[in-house]
Amino acid sequence: MNEIFNFGKILVAIGVILAVVGLLFMLGGKIPWLGRLPGDFLVKGKNFTFYFPLTTCIIVSIVLSVLMYLFFRK
């Protein structure tokens, strides 16, 4: 019975993560600083553009880690 409860918690966590990611996609263009933080790299060349949102990835990782900690703590 305990395994079913743990599986249910995992499914709820995945659903919450998907909802948050969906909201970020919907509101991504309306949040002006998202993806344009100091530490987000943008290199433009003649024929290419390279963009790596390092700071944004770190902030998203921290937020998700805190949420997972709060959700899965015993």
Dmax (CA) for the chain in angstroms is: 60
- pLDDT tops 80 at residue 16: yes
**According to the model, what pLDDT value does residue 1 have?**
59
**According to the model, what pLDDT value does residue 13 have?**
82
- Cα–chain center distance at 6: 23
**According to the model, what pLDDT value does residue 48 have?**
93
Cβ atoms of 72 and 51 within 8 Å: the answer is: no
User: Positive or negative CA dihedral for 34, 43, 62, 72?
Assistant: positive
Share of the chain above pLDDT 70, in %: 86
Domains of the chain, by residue range, sit at 2-72
Whole-structure pTM value: 0.58
